[in-house]
Amino acid sequence: MKKIFIVTSAALLSFCLLLTGCTGYSSSTKDNITIKDNLALHGSCIVSGKVLDNNTNEPIRGANIVVFSKPMSTVTDLYGQFEIIDILPGTYTLQVFCVGYVQRDIPDIEAKPDRLIKLDIRLEPRPVHGE
pLDDT in tens, 67-97: 988 889 999 999 999 999 989 899 999 999 9
The architecture that CATH gives domain 4-123 is Sandwich (2.60)
3-state secondary structure (DSSP) of residue 17: helix
> Which pTM value belongs to this model?
0.71
Confidence of residue 41 (pLDDT cuts 50, 70, 90): low
Sheet of strand 32-36, all strands in order from the earlier edge strand to the far edge:
4-7, 32-36, 115-123, 45-53, 81-87
What pLDDT, on a 0 to 100 scale, did the predictor assign at position 44? Answer: 80
Longest dimension (CA), the chain: 58
- 74, with CB counted inside 10 A (0-12, 13-18, 19+), is middle
